Amino acid sequence: MKVVIAIDSFKGSLSSNELGEALSLGIKKIYKDAEIIKIPIADGGEGTVEAMVEGTEGKFIEVEVHGPLMNKIKAIYGILGDGKTAIIEMATASGLPLVPAEKRNPNKTTTFGTGELIKDAIKKGCREFIIGIGGSATNDGGLGMMQALGYKFYDKEGKELGQGGEIMNQIEKIDSTQALKELSQCNFLIACDVDNPFYGPRGAAHVYGKQKGANEQMILELDNGLKHLSEILNKTYNIDISNLPGAGAAGGLGGGLVAFLNGILKPGIEIILEKVEFEKKVINSDFVITGEGRIDFQTVMGKAPVGVSKLAKKYNIPVIALAGSVADDADKTHEAGIDSIFSIINYPISLEDAMKKENSKKFVEKNAEEIFRLIKICENKFSK
C-alpha cells in the first residue's frame, strides 16, 4: 500500500504538516507496512510559506520591514531547502490585517515592505522567488516594492515621489539606475488565483478598493492612476499589462511584478506542486489523500485539493478528500477528480472545540483509520 498525503492546512487549527502526521497514524493502524509520502502543500495563500519550508526542510527568516503605512513591523518569509529559493507572502509585510480599519487608505498604503523582504532574500543568496500576492492592504501597482529595491519615480517637474497609490497618477519618469544589480539574475513566480485586469470595471481599484478603505471618489482616482501607470510602463518597457489576467491582483502588484521584474503569473497550487515534485512522487501510488478546512463550490476554483486531484487523475489514482466541513455544493469537486469526500467531525461539537488542535488531530486520525479499514475489507473481499 502506497499512499500520498497532500492536504492543505485547516486554517486556524492544523498545519499541512500536522494533518499529514495525523493521517499517517490512522492509516498505519490498518496498514502497518504502508509506504506513506507526506507532502505539505498550500494554494499560494495563507500557510504557503509554512507548508513549503516544512516540505523542503528549509528555514524561516524574520526581518524588520516597513508595514503598509511605513511603520516598522516584523515579517517572516522562507528559504526553501535548496538554499536559493525564497517564498514570500506579501501579506506578511503589506497585508490588510496590518492596518487598523480606521486607518485604511489605499492612497497612502505601500508595498515597500514586500520589496524589503525580496531585498533581504537577495542579500542572503536567493535568486528564485515565489511570491504569494493575496490579502493586500495596498493599491500602488507595486511601486512601493520597487522603491525598496532601489527604483525612483519622478513627476513632470522632476520631483521624486513618495509612497502610496496616490503617486501613480503623477509618475512621468522611472529611474532604475540605483536598483539592485542582482535583480537581473532573479526569477519570479507569482502565485495568483484571480484574473482581474490592471484597471477598469474588473480592475484592482473597482473590485478590491472598497475593502481597503477607498470611497467611490478614491476608487475612480486609483483606477485612473493604474491606467496612467500602465501607459508609463508600456512606454518605458514596451509591455502592456492593462488587460493581463491577474495584473490587478493585490492592488496591481501582479502587474507590477510582471512589468518590472518579468514575473510569471500562475495559479498558486500549480507552482507549489511543481516545486515539491508532486507528480513524480504520486506515480504508482494506490491512493492520494487531500483536503482543506472547508470543501465547497469554491474548491474547484484553483484551490489545493483540485490541483492535487488533477495530477492524480493523470495516473488514474483514486483521490480521497477530508475537510473540517463539507458543504452541500461540494459534489462539484467530484467532476474535478475528487472521488470521495469526508468531514472529520464525528459528533456534534462547537466550532471553537472542533478547531482545537488536540480535537482536530484525534478526528483526522480516527477518520483515516476508518476509511482504510473499509478499504482493507474491500481489498480482502474482492481479492478472493
Residues 6+ apart with CB under 8 A from 234: 240, 241, 242
Give percent of the chain above pLDDT 90.
Answer: 86
Q: What is the mean pLDDT of residues 42-48?
A: 80
Amino acid 135: pLDDT: 87
Amino acid 384: pLDDT: 66
Residues 6+ apart with CB under 8 A from 196: 202, 203, 204, 207, 208, 245, 246, 247, 248, 249
Residue 211 has pLDDT above 70, yes or no: yes
Residue 302 has pLDDT above 80, yes or no: no
Amino acid 44: pLDDT: 77
Amino acid 43: pLDDT: 81
Residue 59 has pLDDT above 80, yes or no: yes
Q: pLDDT (tens digit, 9 = 90+) per residue, 64-99?
A: 999 999 999 999 999 999 999 999 999 999 999 999
Higher pLDDT, 263 or 274: 263
- Ramachandran angles phi, psi of 136, nearest 5°: -80, 155
- Count CA within 13 A, CB hemisphere, residue 260: 29
pTM across the whole model: 0.87
Smallest CA-to-CA distance from 212 within 112, 137, 323, 309 is with 137
Amino acid 50: pLDDT: 87
Read off the amino acid at residue 86. A
- The stretches of 1-89 forming alpha helices (DSSP H) are 16-28, 48-56
Rounded distance, CA 149 to CA 256, Å? 13
Q: Name the most confidently modeled range: 59-63, 190-194, 346-350.
A: 59-63
Amino acid 54: pLDDT: 84
DSSP 339-360: -EEEE---S---HHHHTSHHHH
φ/ψ region of 34 (left if φ > 0, alpha if ψ in -120 to 50, else beta) reads beta
26-35, 48-57, 196-205, 208-217: the lowest-pLDDT one: 48-57
Give percent of the chain above pLDDT 70.
Answer: 100
Residue 201 has pLDDT above 90, yes or no: yes
Report residue 239's pLDDT band, with 50, 70 and 90 as the boundaries.
very high
Rounded distance, CA 98 to CA 86, Å? 22
Q: pLDDT (tens digit, 9 = 90+) per residue, 357-384?
A: 999 999 999 999 999 999 999 998 887 6
Place of cell 467611490: 216
Q: pLDDT (tens digit, 9 = 90+) per residue, 110-129?
A: 999 999 999 999 999 999 99
Residues 6+ apart with CB under 8 A from 276: 39, 40, 41, 52, 55, 56
Asked if residue 55 lies in contact with residue 82, where contact means CB atoms within 8 angstroms, the answer is: no
Residue 4 has pLDDT above 90, yes or no: yes
Residue 234 has pLDDT above 80, yes or no: yes
Smallest CA-to-CA distance from 290 within 41, 51, 111 is with 41
Please give the DSSP secondary-structure letter assigned to residue 102.
Answer: G
Dihedral in degrees, nearest 10, Cα atoms 133, 138, 142, 144: -130
Asked if residue 200 lies in contact with residue 226, where contact means CB atoms within 8 angstroms, the answer is: no
